């Protein structure tokens, strides 16, 4: 009886650990610089011949240049992920520069494959994330220059520039390709629409209100 309880407990532990450690797999060689032109499809990108690898495969310049925030979102992401730096392939890490126009908002979104760690270089941001079911607790913080904040993998989070001046942050990710799921785009702007009656049920409102929101997303 005691042994079977232990076995059960260990199986449970193994299961939760394998979920908890789900992230980019560790590299099995020094590097595997991405060869984006290779037609082979696998989980990641095929390595280029190591003899042909050069310093520029591990490099990008220009992160000192402010991103253009003159757009409807009022923010700009300047990535340094595997597309810009093929040498990141298999290394489980990437980063980006984020520029925020005064009073702009990066709406609620999640990175399905990465924890995010943000360093605020200039400005003042209100940031937050929501824990999963059943608590759904909102954890928020006002950040000033030099502050660092972490958004755990998969959780929905947002950034708001609460000052009347631009803000700049560097965000790093625990994936070569963190991905972005923007909540309003996924829920109301999918192609084709999620059936209106399903969203009406989810948001406890009538289908006409849902249809109105869905109609605002250009498709």
Known binding-site positions for Mn(2+): 109, 111, 116, 157
Binding region: 109, 111, 116, 157
Binding region for oxalate: 111, 116
* H/E segment holding residue 78: strand 75-80
3 state DSSP class of 83: coil
Please state the φ and ψ torsions of residue 29, each to the nearest 5 degrees. -150, 175
Exposed/middle/buried for 166, CB within 10 Å: 0-12, 13-18, 19+?
middle
> Do 183 and 130 form a contact (C-beta atoms < 8 A)?
no
Evaluate the omega torsion of the peptide bond into residue 134 and state whether it is cis, within 30 degrees of 0.
yes
> Do 167 and 120 form a contact (C-beta atoms < 8 A)?
yes
Beta-carbon contacts of 210 under 8 Å, excluding residues fewer than 6 positions away, are 188, 196, 199, 200, 203
């Amino acid at each position: 009886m005691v042994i079977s309880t232990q076995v059960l407990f260990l199986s449970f532990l193994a299961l939760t650990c394998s979920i908890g450690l789900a992230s980019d797999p560790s590299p099995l060689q020094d590097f595997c610089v991405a060869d984006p032109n290779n037609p082979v499809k696998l989980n990641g990108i095929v390595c280029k011949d190591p003899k042909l690898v050069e310093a520029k495969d591990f490099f990008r310049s220009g992160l000192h240049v402010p991103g253009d925030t003159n757009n409807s979102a009022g923010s700009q992401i300047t990535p340094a992920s595997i597309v810009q730096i093929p040498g990141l392939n298999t290394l489980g890490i990437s980063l980006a520069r984020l520029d925020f126009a005064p009073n702009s908002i990066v709406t609620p979104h999640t990175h399905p494959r990465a924890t995010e760690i943000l360093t605020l270089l200039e400005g003042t941001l209100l940031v937050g994330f929501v824990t999963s079911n059943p608590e759904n607790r909102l954890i928020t913080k006002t950040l000033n220059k030099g502050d660092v904040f972490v958004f755990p993998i998969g959780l929905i989070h947002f950034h708001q520039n609460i000052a009347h001046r631009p803000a700049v942050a560097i965000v790093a990710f625990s994936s070569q390709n963190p991905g972005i799921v923007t909540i309003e785009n996924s829920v109301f702007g999918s192609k084709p629409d999620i059936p209106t009656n399903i969203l009406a049920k989810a948001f406890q409102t009538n289908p006409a209100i849902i249809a109105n929101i869905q109609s605002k997303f250009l498709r």
